[in-house]
Amino acid sequence: MESSEPTSDPTPWWGPVSLDVETGGRWDVGPSTLWLYRTEREWRVLHRPSPTAETADPMADRSDVTAPLPSDEMSALLDTEDDTLHTSRYSFGETEARISLQPALADRSVVSRPEHPLYVPSDESVTLYLSTALWIQIVLPDSNRKLQEIPSFRMSDTWFGASTVDGEFCYATRTAGRLRLDRLPRRLHRAVTPLRIRNTASDPLALERVQLPVQHLALYATPTHQLWTQGVTMTHSAAEEGADVQIRSGPPADAEAAKRLQEPRETTKKSLFTSTFSAVGTLFAS
């Protein structure tokens, strides 16, 4: 897998590569950059995280791989004392030549706050296309061992629930929540979820925050490398403040040719429940 100039159809950053001993590579994934370096008995992972949620561009569209990396560039990186660079070392009796980066969904629910107020009238439904940042898993494919996983974008932490004691710890992000798929920019470090919201109550439903249970979703890739999750339906009724959540099986209708890349992190029953659509809860900085 070689580096390429940015195009309208970028090369995916995931997949296996082979590196010789004393050789490294560089991966640019959204706002993050990481390097892998192989010696005879060690794999070294160097990661420069994305900036904080307040300063980073979560939509930064980068998907680039340079492997092998020129030796002078790799040597300079290994000798640097840059405090923003995080280094992890993994020791082996003998290192495998192949290593793989794989996309994965977040390890807990993601709470999306729409940029603009959105209301669903009584007895209406709407489908929003939401995108969420992916994690980068570093795997040795020949022995099926995972070394590490890194978020491509560091989201803030939030508490989401009906009260400060009834809820769960989640990630928080802002989203445009596109009503049309063709208005959603394509970014290879994010996965798209079609979210259908049904309001069966008599009053309009205000979508201030939406909790997406991504840890219960599978990840799919289309032949053109677009990443998707299963479709999700949330039904709000007058009897409940929150919504029943149904996860559809298989790839969404918008990506019928997609192949499954990752199983859900957590298995679940056919239905879930989200406690509220509102802004109840306290945000905590990451």
Supply the pLDDT for residue 281: 35
For the ranges 7-21, 30-44, 160-174, 199-213, the maximum mean pLDDT occurs at: 30-44
β-pairing verdict for 135-140 and 124-133 = unpaired
C-alpha 4: how far from chain center: 23
- Residue for token pair 């509102």: 278
Share of the chain above pLDDT 90, in %: 53
Instruction: List the 15-18 sheet strands across, edge first.
Output: 15-18, 98-104, 135-140, 145-151
User: pLDDT-based confidence at 209, cuts 50/70/90?
Assistant: confident
Q: What are phi and psi of 74, to 5 degrees?
A: -70, -40
Does 187 score more than 70 pLDDT?
yes
Q: Which two tokens stand for residue 237?
A: 């009724």
DSSP 3-state assignment of 273?
strand
Confidence of residue 54 (pLDDT cuts 50, 70, 90): very low
Q: Nearest Cα to 61, choosing from 245, 190, 151, 209?
A: 190
Q: pLDDT band at residue 147, thresholds of 50, 70 and 90?
A: very high
One-letter-per-residue 3-state SS of 49-76: CCCCCCCCCCCCCCEEEECCCCHHHHHH
Q: Which burial class, exposed, middle or buried, applies to 281 when counting CB atoms under 10 A from its CB (0-12, 13-18, 19+)?
A: buried
The yes-or-no verdict on residue 57 having pLDDT over 70 is: no
Give yes or no for residue 279 having a pLDDT over 50: no
DSSP 103-132: EE--SS-EEEEESS--EE-TTEEEEEEEEE
Residue 195 has pLDDT above 70, yes or no: yes
Pairing status of strand 156-161 against strand 119-120: unpaired
Checking if the pLDDT of 2 tops 60, the result is no
CA 167 from chain centre, in angstroms, equals 22
**pLDDT single digits (tens) 214-242:** 999 999 999 989 999 999 999 988 877 67
Counts of helices then strands in the chain (DSSP H, E) = 1, 24
Q: Is 225 helix (H, G, I), strand (E, B) or coil?
A: coil
Its pTM stands at: 0.84
Give the C-alpha separation, 113 to 228, whole Å: 20
Q: Which of 46-55, 99-108, 183-192 has the lowest mean pLDDT?
A: 46-55
Confidence of residue 208 (pLDDT cuts 50, 70, 90): confident
Residue 140 pLDDT: 97
Residue 122 predicted with pLDDT over 90: yes
First to last CA, the chain: 34
Question: Coil, strand or helix: which one is 216?
Answer: helix
Please state, rounded to an integer, the average pLDDT across all residues of the chain.
84
- pLDDT category at 282 given cuts 50, 70, 90 is very low
